[in-house]
Amino acid sequence: MPRIPLIKPDLPQLEEVADSFREVLSSGKITNFGKYVSAFEKEAGEYLGAETVTTSSGTMALLLTLQALGLKQGEKVILPSFTFMATGQAILYAGGVPVFAECENDLTLSPADLEQLLAKHDNVGAVIPVHTYGLPARTAEIETIVDAAGRKRGRKIPVMYDAAHAFGSSAAGRRVGTFGDAEVFSLSVTKMLVSVEGGMLASRNPETIALVKKMRGYGIEANYNAQWPGLNGKMSEFHAIIGLHNLRRLGELMADRQKKARRYLDLVKARTAFDTFPWPQGVEHTFKDFTVLVPPGTAETRDAVMASLLEQGVETRAYFHPPVHQQGWFARFADRPLPRTEDLASRVITLPFYTSITEQEMEHVANALASAQKHFHAGASR
Ligand SMILES: Cc1ncc(COP(=O)(O)O)c(C=O)c1O
């Protein structure tokens, strides 16, 4: 069997987008909020049940939205350490100071730790939970805790979800994109909804939407007159064409993905000793990453297991290791260990997963895992 890649993005065939590309090229309207960016924002908003703004990347949307939500220079922003470093980078660029929180066993933000951090730190300007791999964070608990902390201080603390992994996810019928004060998606190549590169803010607050629309265009109010902070965070028409095409078939892709993820989980559970993550009832899950864990106490075997998988033609990654608070650029903001985050991050193995993965490929991966788990015992006896 040829090597099984970590991902294969869902991309249109050339013929499916050629007419739109031709139209945009011949009109010369290749950027600056043309027809396709407008259509993409409108249809994404209808899909989510919120208003949207497209941006050049998810990181850009995180940064602009944090500022639009009123983050002030030097204010603290609570985020889970188990995330991609872009969450932390956006906080720094927006002028905030990251405060790292623990995760639960499902790798989303721990409400109990969040509550303690809010009690300890007075000047918290925002909270950024992450829908890790596409699994919705504990939104109700988190928002109750943050609202209570805001009431105590006599000012609102905004909750902005990093929904980079989660366009298409929902919990109890409510789509990710409609929670908190704002949610920010990435539309980059590893994501469920791909626009090549790109990001999107979704919010039900028209003021946040209006402000980020200006901020992504250099802060211009009108007539080349900048009234707001701003950068170039625009999405081009070409990116929007790809995003729009993928959005229009997202329902179909998601349905397929749910079936495949269920089958994959069953195979891994039946054939291997790897731990898997919970998939709660009523959750539609993008499985942006399909990650398993080497068992507790065997973290030191993880690299050997990954090497064995590669020898068997299975590409993997350790998403996300090291956790952000242990990365060189961020360690200065870490003032305590995060034992659960550190343990889980040292045990993750992200397996190949994509909408077009075949039954044979999933079987091959499960069998390769079963063979690679011989390392658990070698590690345990050391
Ligand atoms: C959790 C998380 N946040 C933010 C980002 C940044 O998104 P982008 O690559 O579109 O800037 C990513 C990218 O993978 C991510 O995984």
Q: What share of the chain has pLDDT > 90, as a percent? A: 97
CB of 186 within 6 A of ligand 1: the answer is: yes
Please state, rounded to an integer, the average pLDDT across all residues of the chain.
97
Domains of the chain: 14-248 (3.40.640.10), 250-316+352-380 (3.90.1150)
Nearest C-alpha neighbor of 344 from the set 282, 298, 309, 290: 298
User: How many whole angstroms from 59 Cα to the centroid of ligand 1?
Assistant: 6
Nearest C-alpha neighbor of 75 from the set 96, 102, 45, 61: 96
User: How many whole angstroms from 192 Cα to the centroid of ligand 1?
Assistant: 12
Q: In this model, does residue 382 exceed pLDDT 70?
A: no
Number of H helices and E strands in the chain, helices first, is 13, 14
Look at the block and give the residue holding tokens 């329902």: 251
Strand pairing class (348-351; 51-55) = unpaired
- Report the chain's C-alpha Rg in angstroms: 21
Q: What is the pLDDT of residues 232-246, one digit of tens each?
A: 999 999 999 999 999
E strand map for the chain = 51-55, 76-80, 97-101, 124-127, 160-162, 170-171, 174-175, 182-186, 199-203, 220-222, 225-226, 283-284, 290-293, 348-351
**Average pLDDT, integer, range 114-124:** 97
For ligand 1, pick from 176, 188, 288 the residue to mutate: most ligand atoms within 8 Å of CB. Answer: 188
The pTM score is 0.97
Q: Ligand 1, closest atom to CA 83?
A: 1
**Average pLDDT, integer, range 127-136:** 98
**Average pLDDT, integer, range 209-229:** 96
CB atoms under 10 Å from CB of 381, counted, come to 6
Q: How far apart are alpha carbons 284 and 252 in whole angstroms?
A: 13
Q: What is the pLDDT of residues 162-204, one digit of tens each?
A: 999 999 999 999 999 999 999 999 999 999 999 999 999 999 9
User: How many whole angstroms from 92 Cα to the centroid of ligand 1?
Assistant: 15
User: How many whole angstroms from 317 Cα to the centroid of ligand 1?
Assistant: 16
Q: In this model, does residue 380 exceed pLDDT 60?
A: no
CB of 59 within 6 A of ligand 1: the answer is: yes
User: How many whole angstroms from 52 Cα to the centroid of ligand 1?
Assistant: 17
**Average pLDDT, integer, range 314-322:** 98
How many residues would you count in the chain? 382
CB of 162 within 6 A of ligand 1: the answer is: yes
CB of 240 within 6 A of ligand 1: the answer is: no
Instruction: State phi, psi for 220 to the nearest 5 degrees.
Output: -75, 130
Q: In this model, does residue 95 exceed pLDDT 80?
A: yes
Residue closest by Cα to atom 10 of ligand 1: 58
User: How many whole angstroms from 258 Cα to the centroid of ligand 1?
Assistant: 22
Q: Could you tell me if 319 and 83 are in contact, meaning their C-beta atoms sit under 8 angstroms apart? A: no
Q: How far apart are alpha carbons 170 and 178 in whole angstroms?
A: 10
Q: Ligand 1, closest atom to CA 191?
A: 14
Percent composition of the chain: helix, strand, coil (DSSP 3-state, to 5): 45, 15, 40
Which pLDDT does position 378 carry in this prediction? 66
Q: In this model, does residue 348 exceed pLDDT 80?
A: yes
Q: How far apart are alpha carbons 6 and 4 in whole angstroms?
A: 7
CB of 319 within 6 A of ligand 1: the answer is: no
Q: How far apart are alpha carbons 241 and 358 in whole angstroms?
A: 28
Which pLDDT does position 226 carry in this prediction? 97
